[in-house]
Amino acid sequence: MIFKGFWLSFFDFAVKIIKFKNMNRFIWIFLPCIVCIIGCAKTTKPKQSIKTNPVKEIIVEGLKHPWSMAFISEKDVVVSEKDGNLLRVYFDTSEKKIIKGFPRDLTDSIRAIWRGDNSGIFDVLLDPDFKNNHHLYVSYAAKQKNKGSTTKVIRGTLINDSLTSIKTLLEAGPYTKEYFHYGGGMTFGADQKLYITVGERLFKEIDEPETPIAQDLTDRRGKIYRINTDGSIPHDNPVLGENMVKGIYASGIRAAQGITLHPETGKLWFSEHGTMQGDEINILKAGANYGWPLITTGGYRSKEFKPKIPEDVDFTDPIWYWKHTVAPTGLVFCTSHEFPAWKNDLLVSGLSRGSLWRFRIENDTIKSAEELFVDDRVRARKVLQSPAGKLYLLTDEVNGKIIRIKNEPNF
């Protein structure tokens, strides 16, 4: 545009000279040249927007119900298998190495006790300073002889394919023989604190004690925790009661598995499993009570369960809930350069129906929802993004897969 403006100015100047000098010969010789130059002057073309056409590419398969994945690099990852091991997986060769030294109290999900057994290895997370300290965080179902199992979180040092210097950070007892709803989601907040979801562990609501588990601040189950990386309790955690379990950040949780950090606001968002519908997306707030099992956006398995709702308790409503069962699991905010139209959209994977959802958000409000890959459904445990912005999906299958979600626009 600058180039074109220059020649327009030059044209006006030349015409003035022509009129002043009455130079007819100049007009007939040079005026066509000037017009041609103006017409051929380079103009700025509008940028063509990148269209969105997500497609799937299988990167690795042969995994036993993969639950989570942490990126050591773009080609070197740590994968947790719900029905298997903690693995180091290399994308270039598809090689899988079992990480040695995992605690022996792991409860394997062999589905022999109950076909819906939720036990196994859950989330895996690298320390923000992993390059220097090699710290790895893992949540899993731990067992005690004759007592049952519970959710446990450890920190270890990863040296090649071995986990050493293991320290227990959270043990969400009591140990029970209920093999459900462990939770196990983890993430680091903008404050560099470790946030952990723990489920309430019951299958039927009728088995709730007089004070429901998720509402009892002296019970470790059914809560979200905020701790330091060494397991100590931050001094600025909320105080919710005189005898409360240390580290509790929020209560009223049923079976939250996914939790993630918004890249701009620094707020934490988490998914929550309902029973008969009632699946939710929530924003984590200090001291919040999310209501389970006193209130729900769905129904109850136990039709005879009719909880008494205290008048002096404030509940935090979900940001979103589905009217059908989705079983939402891992979630992530998309900042991928491959999908500019999805910038800061929330992606949520689901076990039921094999769904993957995209939510457009404005000011903590979900404005629109889109279900992706409706003609290519797969039971999905987690959607996540690599440090370089590549999107991946973990499938919850006997032949579990790591799937890359790529953008292949059809122009």
> Residue 201 and residue 209: Cα distance in Å, rounded?
13
Q: What share of the chain in percent tops pLDDT 90?
A: 83
Residue at 173: amino acid letter: G
- Please give the structure tokens belonging to residue 219: 């019970």
Q: Is 227 helix (H, G, I), strand (E, B) or coil?
A: strand
Kindly tell me the sign of the dihedral angle through the C-alpha atoms of 4, 10, 13, 18.
negative
Residues 6+ apart with CB under 8 A from 211: none
- Please give the structure tokens belonging to residue 4: 């074109």
Report the pLDDT value the prediction gives residue 110, as an integer from 0 to 100: 59
pLDDT tens digit string along 12-33? 544 444 444 444 444 444 444 4
Report the pLDDT value the prediction gives residue 21, as an integer from 0 to 100: 44
Mean pLDDT calculated for residue range 242-270 = 97
Bond preceding residue 174 cis, omega within 30 of 0: yes
Top-confidence residue, 47 or 338: 338
**DSSP notation for 101-142:** T--TTB----SSS-TT---SEEEEEE-TTHHHH-EEEEEEEE
Report the pLDDT value the prediction gives residue 409, as an integer from 0 to 100: 83
pLDDT tens digit string along 47-92? 556 789 999 999 999 999 999 999 999 999 999 999 999 999 999 9
What is the length of the chain? 411
Backbone φ and ψ for 140, nearest 5 degrees, come out as -160, 170
pLDDT tens digit string along 299-309? 999 999 999 99
Report the pLDDT value the prediction gives residue 50, as an integer from 0 to 100: 73
- Please give the structure tokens belonging to residue 125: 């997370």
Place of tokens 């990852």: 77
Top-confidence residue, 18 or 170: 170
> Are the C-beta atoms of residues 189 and 155 closer than 8 Å to each other?
no
Report the pLDDT value the prediction gives residue 410, as an integer from 0 to 100: 73
Report the pLDDT value the prediction gives residue 114, as an integer from 0 to 100: 61
Q: Is the pLDDT at 36 greater than 90, yes or no?
A: no
Identify which of 333, 336, 354, 357 has the alpha carbon closest to the alpha carbon of residue 345: 333
Side-chain half-sphere CA neighbours of 339 within 13 A: 24
Side-chain half-sphere CA neighbours of 221 within 13 A: 24
State how far the alpha carbon of 142 is from the alpha carbons of 105, 147, 158, 196, in Å.
Answer: 5, 11, 20, 16
Strands annotated E in 16-133? 54-63, 66-71, 76-81, 86-90, 95-98, 121-126
Identify which of 386, 396, 399, 395 has the alpha carbon closest to the alpha carbon of residue 91: 386
Identify which of 291, 344, 288, 342 has the alpha carbon closest to the alpha carbon of residue 321: 291
Beta bridge partners of 173: none
Query: C-alpha 394: how far from its chain's center?
Result: 12
State how far the alpha carbon of 183 is from the alpha carbons of 56, 150, 175, 343, in Å.
Answer: 28, 10, 14, 28
Kindly indicate whether the domain formed by 54-407 is annotated with CATH number 3.50.50.60: no
Q: Is 222 helix (H, G, I), strand (E, B) or coil?
A: coil
Question: Does the global pTM surpass 0.75?
Answer: yes
pLDDT tens digit string along 317-332? 999 999 999 999 999 9
Identify which of 85, 105, 114 has the alpha carbon closest to the alpha carbon of residue 152: 105
Query: What is the band of 109 on the pLDDT scale with cuts at 50, 70, 90?
Result: low
**Residue 388, burial from CB neighbour count under 10 angstroms (0-12, 13-18, 19+):** exposed
Q: Is the pLDDT at 9 greater than 90, yes or no?
A: no
Query: What is the band of 183 on the pLDDT scale with cuts at 50, 70, 90?
Result: very high
pLDDT tens digit string along 276-304? 999 999 999 999 999 999 999 999 999 99
**Window from 116-120, 124-128, 187-191, 358-362 with minimum mean pLDDT:** 116-120
Report the pLDDT value the prediction gives residue 117, as an integer from 0 to 100: 85
Q: Is the pLDDT at 113 greater than 90, yes or no?
A: no
Backbone φ and ψ for 265, nearest 5 degrees, come out as -80, -20
> Residue 214 and residue 292: Cα distance in Å, rounded?
6
Report the pLDDT value the prediction gives residue 42, as an integer from 0 to 100: 46
Mean pLDDT calculated for residue range 120-138 = 98
Identify which of 194, 201, 163, 335 has the alpha carbon closest to the alpha carbon of residue 265: 335
Place of tokens 């709702």: 309
87-117 burial: b if 16+ Cβ within 10 Å, else e? bbbebeeeebeebebbeebbbbbeeeeeeeb
Q: Is the pLDDT at 144 greater than 50, yes or no?
A: yes
Report the pLDDT value the prediction gives residue 349, as an integer from 0 to 100: 98
Report the pLDDT value the prediction gives residue 19, as an integer from 0 to 100: 45
Report the pLDDT value the prediction gives residue 111, as an integer from 0 to 100: 56
> Residue 123 and residue 184: Cα distance in Å, rounded?
6
Top-confidence residue, 261 or 353: 261
